[in-house]
Structure 1
Amino acid sequence: MDEELPKEFDLVVVGTGFTESAVAAAASRIGKTVLHVDPNDFYGSCWASFNLENFQSFLSNNIKTETNDIAYTKQIWYIPAEETDTVTETETSSTNEDDWTQTKVLKSSRKFNIDLTPKLLFSAGKLVDLLVSSNICRYAEFRAIDRISTLYGGELLNVPCSRTDVFNTKDLSIVEKRLLMKLLTSCMNFDDKSEEFAKYQDKTFLEYLKANKLTEKIIHCVMNSIAMCNERTTLNEGVEKMKSYLQSLGRYGNSPFLFPMYGCGEIPQCFCRLCAVFGGTYCLKRKVNVVSTKEDAITLQVDGHILDAKHLVVSSGSLPVGVFPSNCLAEGQQRCGNLARGVFISSTPIGNEDQNSGGGGVNVIRLIDSLDTTRGAILLQLSHYSGTCPKGLYLIHITAEAVSNDPEADLEPFAKQIFNPDLQGAPKLLFAAYFLTKRCKVCQQNQTDSTKLVPRLLSTCGPFFEIDYDSSIQNAKNMFEKIYPNESFLPRAPDPEEIIIGDEDPVALAEHTLAEDLKAQMHELEDSMESMDVGESDGQVGVDT
Structure 2
Amino acid sequence: MADYPSIDPSSFDLIVIGTGLPESILASASATAGKTVLHLDPNSFYGNHFSSLPLDHFSSFLQSHSHCHSQQPNISPPTSSSNCLHLKHNNLFSHVHISNPHSEYLGPSNKFSLDLSGPKLLFCADPMVNIMLKSGATYHIEFKGVDATYVYRGDGDDKLMTVPDSRSAIFKSSVLTLKEKRQLMSFFKTVQEHILELEAALTSNEEMRRARTISDEELECPFIDFLTTKGLPSNIKSIILYAIAMADYDQETPLLRKDFVIKTKDGIKSLALHNMSLGRFVNASGALIYPIYGQGELSQAFCRCAAVKGALYVLRMPVTALLIDKESNCYKGVRLASGQELFSHHLVMSPSFTVPLSSTISSIRDVQGDSSESSSRSDVEGLVARAVCITRVSIKPDLSNLLIIFPPRSLYPEQMTSVRALQLGSGLAVCPPGLFVLYISTMCDAVAQGKELLHAAMNALAHLLSRKHESSTTMESDCVEEDGPNFLWSAIYVQELRKGSSEIIVSCPTPDGRLDYRDMLDSTIKLFHEMYAEVEFFPETEDAENAENDE
Classify the TM-score, shorter chain. 0.7 to 0.9
1-structure distance, mates of 2:186, 2:225? 17
Q: Is the 2:405–2:418 contact (alpha carbons within 8 Å) kept by the matching residues of 1?
A: no
Deviation at 1:455, TM superposition (A): 5.7
Query: Does 2:431 match 1:408?
Result: no
1-structure distance, mates of 2:166, 2:230? 21
Query: Does 2:351 match 1:316?
Result: yes
Query: Does 2:420 match 1:386?
Result: no
2-structure distance, mates of 1:422, 1:458? 45
1-structure distance, mates of 2:99, 2:524? 36
Q: Which of 291, 316, 319 in structure 2 is aligned with 1:285?
A: 316
Query: Does 2:418 match 1:371?
Result: no
Name the residue aligned to 1:513. Answer: none
Query: Does 2:295 match 1:264?
Result: yes
1-structure distance, mates of 2:280, 2:389? 31
Q: Is the 1:113–1:263 contact (alpha carbons within 8 Å) kept by the matching residues of 2?
A: yes
Query: Does 2:126 match 1:125?
Result: yes
Name the residue aligned to 1:475. Answer: 523
Change (3 A) 1:135 1:423: same
Change (3 A) 1:165 1:37: same
Q: Which of 88, 92, 113 in structure 2 is aligned with 1:69?
A: 92
Matches within 5 A, 1:37-76: 37-63=40-66, 64-65=69-70, 67-76=90-99
Deviation at 1:410, TM superposition (A): 4.5
Cα deviations by residue, 1:55-89 (Å, 9 ceiling, x for unpaired): 12222322212623322211113x3xxxxxxxxxx
Name the residue aligned to 1:85. Answer: none
Query: Does 2:254 match 1:209?
Result: no
Q: Which of 322, 326, 350 in structure 1 is aligned with 2:395?
A: 350
Cα deviations by residue, 1:177-205 (Å, 9 ceiling, x for unpaired): 22211111111222774365566456432
Deviation at 1:485, TM superposition (A): 1.2
Secondary structure at 1:299's aligned position in 2? strand
Name the residue aligned to 2:182. Answer: 178
AA of the residue aligned to 2:176? L
Name the residue aligned to 2:274. Answer: 245
Name the residue aligned to 1:83. Answer: none
1-structure distance, mates of 2:6, 2:490? 45
AA of the residue aligned to 2:112? F
2-structure distance, mates of 1:137, 1:328? 38
Secondary structure at 2:513's aligned position in 1? coil
Q: Which of 421, 429, 434 in structure 1 is aligned with 2:492?
A: 434
Using CA pairs under 8 Å that are at least 6 residues apart, name the structure with larger relative contact order, 1 or 2. Answer: 2
Cα deviations by residue, 1:206-234 (Å, 9 ceiling, x for unpaired): 23223322233322222221222333433
Count residues with an aligned counterpart: 458
Secondary structure at 1:243's aligned position in 2? helix
2-structure distance, mates of 1:387, 1:337? 32
Q: Which of 167, 170, 177 in structure 2 is aligned with 1:166?
A: 170
The structure with more radius of gyration: 1
Query: Does 2:291 match 1:273?
Result: no
Q: Is the 1:335–1:464 contact (alpha carbons within 8 Å) kept by the matching residues of 2?
A: no
2-structure distance, mates of 1:394, 1:158? 20
2-structure distance, mates of 1:360, 1:493? 36
CA RMSD of aligned residues (A): 2.9
AA of the residue aligned to 1:400? T
Deviation at 1:423, TM superposition (A): 7.6
Q: Which of 2, 8, 15 in structure 1 is aligned with 2:11?
A: 8
Q: Is the 1:361–1:383 contact (alpha carbons within 8 Å) kept by the matching residues of 2?
A: yes
Tell me the TM-score normalized by structure 1.
0.77
Secondary structure at 1:228's aligned position in 2? coil
For structure 2, the 5+ residue unaligned runs are 71-88, 198-209, 253-260, 470-475, 480-486, 547-551
2-structure distance, mates of 1:161, 1:13? 41
Deviation at 1:313, TM superposition (A): 0.7
Deviation at 1:329, TM superposition (A): 7.0
- Identity over the aligned pairs, expressed in percent? 26
Deviation at 1:394, TM superposition (A): 1.1
1-structure distance, mates of 2:213, 2:128? 34
Q: Is the 1:29–1:493 contact (alpha carbons within 8 Å) kept by the matching residues of 2?
A: no
Q: Is the 1:147–1:158 contact (alpha carbons within 8 Å) kept by the matching residues of 2?
A: yes
Name the residue aligned to 1:509. Answer: none
